[in-house]
């Protein structure tokens, strides 16, 4: 007599060896003899799933569940298929059904945590991962799931610890190594990231994501030749990868390559119906000054594909910058009406309305966003500008320059005899990091360069000493200047110590300046002057001076109204929501600065 159980065990082993045809044949023989054998149907469904036949696999898995609806592993395996095919909400439901059958079914608990992470429900994913770890405290996969949930909530230090615990348990866990590397790249710790990427690759991992993270890490380590070559490999594998195309074009541009966008241009020409790719190409053309070419490209997309809101928003920004405000308003208003929750479109419309002198029309959009995102710096900046145009006293509360813009002469940190000695050493350290030819696309600097990584992760002792010297003025600013008024968007967040959130260096060359901007990820922002050209001493021309109050694009009645002279050794602190930029420098001497953002170390309850 034929033993179905023995045959299915054999089929299972063949499936694990990826001998799918043989495994399939055995299962079908069993089903021919016993059409209602749930185990055979289920195993055949798994074979189909792993052999690329997702639709047939799903049909068979569901048939097995109909026969044995209380089998937790049946529900979990179906949920795995649904998660793999991107049907995440159905997958979550499937995992929950598995746990309803057996609350101790740990694979379902793991799958549920991963699916919730995929959905962006990171807090719920964390809870499931912690439940799993309570049952299996030494489980590397559970630690990885927890780390992913923590990372998704911005808890980088805790996520790093969880990934390292996973690796301590299982040094061959390739996902832990890769994900830790990705997290370290996000934290701009490129050297450490490369070590874990090497380990992941040695364990057999390959593909676009690993290469992309490697390219980013190499760039942070100032290994620009290798970074460019690696980005090019990603783009060759996946020409429609927006992040890789952007990063490759930007790196080439900053290195002075006149054909910096060649791969992006080729990809856009080959995929004319890829709206995101076309819009990215147009935005980069716009950022490097080819406004006319960008407009032609966007209008071609609209003519072929219709009034797509994201494309109309990009066109509106170009029209705004070109001074064609009526056209810009029409495009932005219709785009924002079509997608009222698209923040980029709302911001574009607000900027245009203010430029047209319509603060009363801009205010409803601003107030809505301020209520929903009370600490978002850009909405505070627009609120202040609208109040200024309307003569509202709120403007002076938000842009109280006398109180909120403060200059500090820093004291030499421990081990340094003077600030002059520190600055001389900083010049050498920082210039060694300014190895690119020009500015990035997506920052405020023009005719200058920016360091390729955050100075917060730079191990250089001179850089570390400078950051240490900034700590006391920053805490003094919190303690003595901004107060604790719960109704003021700056003061209301002053609930403890301030913590550095990012730091970088800028080198301005001839005709270098900063476009007016704010710092959306900050709370308190800064400028520290390491070295300044002699021309900054002229208090009439005010070359290179820091200016406040002026918007990125002209707004009648919103010109610069406060200027600060740059002096070597001077640290200027101000709210991150204040519009600020610089006047150009004109001579041959460069201007070298460090800037940082700070955020509350203890978030408000």
The CA distance from 128 to 108, in Å, is 10
Beta carbons within 10 angstroms of residue 34's beta carbon: 14
Structure tokens at 95: 């995992």
Task: Give the model's pLDDT for residue 497.
Answer: 87
For residues 48-76, give the mean pLDDT.
95
Longest dimension (CA), the chain: 103
Is the CB of residue 153 less than 8 Å from the CB of residue 123?
Answer: yes
User: With 80 as the cut, is the pLDDT of residue 587 above it?
Assistant: yes
Task: Give the model's pLDDT for residue 54.
Answer: 92
3-state secondary structure of 480: helix
Is the CB of residue 381 less than 8 Å from the CB of residue 577?
Answer: yes
Q: 553: closest CA among 351, 344, 386, 395?
A: 351
Residue with tokens 């003595």: 480
- pLDDT tens-digit map of 338-367: 999 999 999 999 999 999 999 999 999 999
Task: Give the model's pLDDT for residue 496.
Answer: 82
List the CATH code of the domain at 402-600.
2.60.120.620
What letter would DSSP give residue 106?
A: H
For residues 526-544, give the mean pLDDT.
97
Task: Give the model's pLDDT for residue 1.
Answer: 47
Task: Give the model's pLDDT for residue 603.
Answer: 54
- pLDDT tens-digit map of 199-232: 999 999 999 999 999 999 999 999 999 999 999 9
Terminal Cα distance for the chain, rounded: 70
User: With 50 as the cut, is the pLDDT of residue 68 above it?
Assistant: yes
Alpha helix segments (H runs only) across 376-417? 377-390, 394-398, 401-404
HEC sequence for 205-265: CCCHHHHHHHHHHHHHCCCHHHHHHHHHHHHHHCCCCHHHHHHHHHHHHHCCCCCCCHHHH
Each as own residue / partner, the long-range contacts of residues 188-193 (CB below 8 Å, 24 or more positions apart, any chain) are 188/220, 188/453, 188/454, 188/456, 188/457, 189/220, 189/457, 190/216, 190/217, 190/218, 190/219, 190/220, 190/221, 190/453, 190/457, 191/217, 191/221, 193/217, 193/220
Residue with tokens 């980069």: 284
Task: Give the model's pLDDT for residue 197.
Answer: 98
For residues 260-286, give the mean pLDDT.
97
Structure tokens at 517: 């901007």
pLDDT band for 138, please (50, 70, 90 cuts).
confident
Residue with tokens 């300046």: 513
What letter would DSSP give residue 585?
A: P
Cα-based distances in Å from 274 to 241, 268, 301, 533? 11, 8, 9, 47
Task: Give the model's pLDDT for residue 5.
Answer: 85
The CA distance from 500 to 525, in Å, is 10
Across all residues in the chain, what is the average pLDDT? 95
Task: Give the model's pLDDT for residue 118.
Answer: 96
Is the CB of residue 516 less than 8 Å from the CB of residue 580?
Answer: yes
Beta-carbon contacts of residue 526 (< 8 Å; ≥ 6 apart): 470, 474, 571, 572, 573, 574, 595, 596, 597, 598
User: With 70 as the cut, is the pLDDT of residue 389 above it?
Assistant: yes
The CA distance from 267 to 447, in Å, is 29
CA angle 154, 240, 436 (to 5 degrees): 70
């Amino acid at each position: 007599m034929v033993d179905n159980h023995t045959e299915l065990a054999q089929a299972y082993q063949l499936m694990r060896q990826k001998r799918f045809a043989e495994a399939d044949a055995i299962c079908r023989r069993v089903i021919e003899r016993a059409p209602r054998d749930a185990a055979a149907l289920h195993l055949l469904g798994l074979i189909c799933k792993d052999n690329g036949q997702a639709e047939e696999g799903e049909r068979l898995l569901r048939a097995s569940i109909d026969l044995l609806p209380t089998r937790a592993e049946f529900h979990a395996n179906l949920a795995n298929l649904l998660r793999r095919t991107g049907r995440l909400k159905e997958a979550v439901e499937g995992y929950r059904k598995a746990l309803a059958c057996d609350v101790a079914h740990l694979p379902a608990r793991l799958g549920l945590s991963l699916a919730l992470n995929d959905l962006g429900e990171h807090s719920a994913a964390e809870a499931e991962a912690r439940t799993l770890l309570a049952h299996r405290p030494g489980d590397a996969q559970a630690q990885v799931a927890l780390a992913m949930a923590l990372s998704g909530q911005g808890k980088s230090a805790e996520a790093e610890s969880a990934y390292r615990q996973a690796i301590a348990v299982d040094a061959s866990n390739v996902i832990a190594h890769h994900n830790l590397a990705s997290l370290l790249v996000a934290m701009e710790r490129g050297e450490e990231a490369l070590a874990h990427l090497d380990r992941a690759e040695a364990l057999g991992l390959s593909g676009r994501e690993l290469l992309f993270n490697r390219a980013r890490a190499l760039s942070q380590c100032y290994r620009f030749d290798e970074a460019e070559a690696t980005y090019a490999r990603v783009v060759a594998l996946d020409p429609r990868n927006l992040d890789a195309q952007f990063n490759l074009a930007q790196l080439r541009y900053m290195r002075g390559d006149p054909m910096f966008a060649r791969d992006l241009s080729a990809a856009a020409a080959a995929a004319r119906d890829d709206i995101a790719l076309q819009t990215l190409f147009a935005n980069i053309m716009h950022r490097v000054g080819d406004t006319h070419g960008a407009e032609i490209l966007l209008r071609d997309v609209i003519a072929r594909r219709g009034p797509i809101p994201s494309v109309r928003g990009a066109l509106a920004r170009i029209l705004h910058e070109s001074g064609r405000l009526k056209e810009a308003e029409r495009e932005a208003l219709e785009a924002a009406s079509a997608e009222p929750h698209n923040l980029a479109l709302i911001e574009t419309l607000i900027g245009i309305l203010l430029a047209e002198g319509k603060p009363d029309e801009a205010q409803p959009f601003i107030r809505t966003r301020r209520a929903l995102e009370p600490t978002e710096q850009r909405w505070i900046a627009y609120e202040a500008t609208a109040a200024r145009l309307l003569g509202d006293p709120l403007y002076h509360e938000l842009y109280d320059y006398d109180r909120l813009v403060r200059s500090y002469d820093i004291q030499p940190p421990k081990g340094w005899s003077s600030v002059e000695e520190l600055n001389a050493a900083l010049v050498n350290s920082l210039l060694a990091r300014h190895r690119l030819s020009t500015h990035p696309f997506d920052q405020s600097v023009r005719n200058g360069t920016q360091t390729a990584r955050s100075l917060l992760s730079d191990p250089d002792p001179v850089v570390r000493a400078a950051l240490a010297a900034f700590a006391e003025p920053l805490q003094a600013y919190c303690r003595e200047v901004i107060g604790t008024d719960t109704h003021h968007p700056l003061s209301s967040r002053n609930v403890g110590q301030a913590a550095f959130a990012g730091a970088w260096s800028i080198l301005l060359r001839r005709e270098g300046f900063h476009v007016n901007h704010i710092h959306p990820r900050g709370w308190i922002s800064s400028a520290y002057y390491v070295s300044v050209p002699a021309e900054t001493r002229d208090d009439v021309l005010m070359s290179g001076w820091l200016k406040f109050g002026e918007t990125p694009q002209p707004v009648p009645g919103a010109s610069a109204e406060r200027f600060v002279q740059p002096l070597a050794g001077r640290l200027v602190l101000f709210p991150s929501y204040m519009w600020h930029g610089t006047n150009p420098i004109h001579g041959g001497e460069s201007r070298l600065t460090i800037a940082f953002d700070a955020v509350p170390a203890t978030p408000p309850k």
